[in-house]
Amino acid sequence: MQVSVETTSALERRLTIQVPAEKVDTAVDERLKQTARRVKVDGFRPGKVPMNVVKRRFGDSVRQEVLSELMRNHFIEAVTQEKLNPAGTPEIEPVKMNAGEPFEFTATFEVYPVVELKSLEGESVERPVAEIKDADVEELITDLRKQRATFVETDKAAETGDQVKIDFEGFIDGEAFAGGKGEGYDLTLGSNSFIPGFEDQLVGSKAGDSKDVEVSFPEDYQAADLAGKAAVFKCKVHAVKQQQLPELNDAFFAQFGVAEGGESAFRAEVRKNMEAQLKQATRNATKQAVFEALMKANPIEVPRALISGEIDNLRRQAAQQYNLGQDFDIGQIPADLFKDQAKNNVTLGLLVGEVIKANELKADDALVDELLNEMAGSYQEPQKVVDYYKSNPEMLRQVQGAALEQQVVDKLLSQAQVTDVTKTFRELAMPGQ
């Protein structure tokens, strides 16, 4: 077997591989002999078909088959021989494939980049730190109460935050238009569920009031024929309801699964959940920061084949997330949507893999146990969850992966210069709120 390597671009290699004619012929004959035992030809008992008949009937297709197999095998052999590390599937093309001549083919593929890992020595990484203060707990409890809030009718004037029950009918230039009518609608003022300006004008109205609300539809309103037009909504207010927060009593606590112990137990439970949430959030944020620093310190070129593979993965995930079903053709999702993310993922995967290799990291059993317990803590019967994970190798591997990632982060953190940034619980645990 003759192999020659060409470097066509930074990561692309082309192998030209030659296989001697005799080798091909013996392989073909071998295969024909096997076929002869299996095939059924009219006029012959099974397995009694003479070689020359088999050759005439199946020679060409068998040869094709053998050649494609030879290409695969020799490609692998050549790759090991040349110590290349191909990424993605190679593009294999036969060049010369006439009988009696040496068989020649080329394989074009991309190789994994050689990563010379630069440590994060001297790089600065921001690590967010947050503490749970009593005020944070208080705030969260208020949030919970708001979620369970009930609305009680009052005869006061409506304020922002109150709910009004209204009938409304909209007119443009004195004429009613389609979809502009509603009866008995519960509108929460300040919820911005109606077009801008509508809710504001209802502030101050009382039960039994009638009011003309004058608004204009925004220019980018989804119904094109209404966009930008001025309209008058004749509204009748049936009732004004005030938001009433539930009291902090045992019934309220019971809704959150705290049946005993009253307020102190409830607070403790809330705090415990917040702590778990915070720990998770801190860990994620730190991981993100470390990985970003790692990518910045090690700009590498990644094979296109890997990126397109990752794009497909992301597409599939997206399809699953939006419940598009089995038959959905993931090719319909534009690839550009995921391009940057895919590139990041691949780069990160390569770099993290390199860190693991360089430091000979292995999933630490103690850490795995810790993660498991943490995860199980939020279930009713933690021990059962732990046992289930341990009895299921695939699930366990996931946890091990997480542990390994954690170790990589720790390792990198120990190299980098870490600056602690103090943040509040809200900023860290609930970004975007």
Partner 1 sequence: MNQERLFKVLLGPHMTEKAAVLADAKNQYVFKVAADATKPEIKKAVEQLFDVKVDAVRVLNTNGKTRRTLHGLGRRNGFRKAYVSLVEGQAIDFADAE
CB of 304 to partner 1, least distance (A): 46
Handedness of CA 159, 160, 166, 171 (dihedral sign): positive
Examine residue 50 and tell whether it contacts partner 1 (CB under 8 A): yes
Residue 53 or 97: the one with the smaller Cβ distance to partner 1 is 53
> Is 413 in contact with 357 (CB distance < 8 Å)?
no
CB of 52 to partner 1, least distance (A): 8
Beta-carbon contacts of 125 under 8 Å, excluding residues fewer than 6 positions away, are 286, 289, 290, 293, 412, 413, 416, 417, 418, 419
Residue 54 or 278: the one with the smaller Cβ distance to partner 1 is 54
Examine residue 334 and tell whether it contacts partner 1 (CB under 8 A): no
Give the distance between the most distant pair of CA atoms in the chain: 103
Burial of residue 391 (number of CB atoms within 10 Å: 0-12, 13-18, 19+): exposed
Residue 54 or 213: the one with the smaller Cβ distance to partner 1 is 54
CA distance 364 to 399: 11
CB of 50 to partner 1, least distance (A): 5
> Is 136 in contact with 426 (CB distance < 8 Å)?
yes
CB of 326 to partner 1, least distance (A): 46
Q: What x/- string results for residues 134 through 163 when contact with partner 1 is judged by CB under 8 A? A: ------------------------------
Binding positions for partner 1, 360-379, rule CB under 8 A:
none
Look at the block and give the residue holding tokens 């980049």. Answer: 113
Examine residue 218 and tell whether it contacts partner 1 (CB under 8 A): no
Examine residue 53 and tell whether it contacts partner 1 (CB under 8 A): yes
For helices 336-359 and 393-415, the axis angle rounded to 10 degrees is 80
Residue 98 or 321: the one with the smaller Cβ distance to partner 1 is 98
Examine residue 41 and tell whether it contacts partner 1 (CB under 8 A): yes
Examine residue 56 and tell whether it contacts partner 1 (CB under 8 A): yes
By CB under 8 A, name the one of 45, 224, 299, 420 that touches partner 1.
Answer: 45
Give the binding range for partner 1 (CB under 8 A) out of 47-55, 61-69, 107-115, 359-367.
47-55
Residue 53 or 203: the one with the smaller Cβ distance to partner 1 is 53
The bridge status of strand 417-423 relative to strand 124-130 is parallel
Length of the chain equals 433
Please tell me the chain's helix, strand, coil percentages from 3-state DSSP, rounded to the nearest 5: 50, 25, 30
Examine residue 40 and tell whether it contacts partner 1 (CB under 8 A): no
Both tokens of 115, joined, read: 């990563």
By CB under 8 A, name the one of 42, 173, 220, 336 that touches partner 1.
Answer: 42
Interface residues toward partner 1, by CB under 8 A:
41-45, 48, 50, 52-53, 56
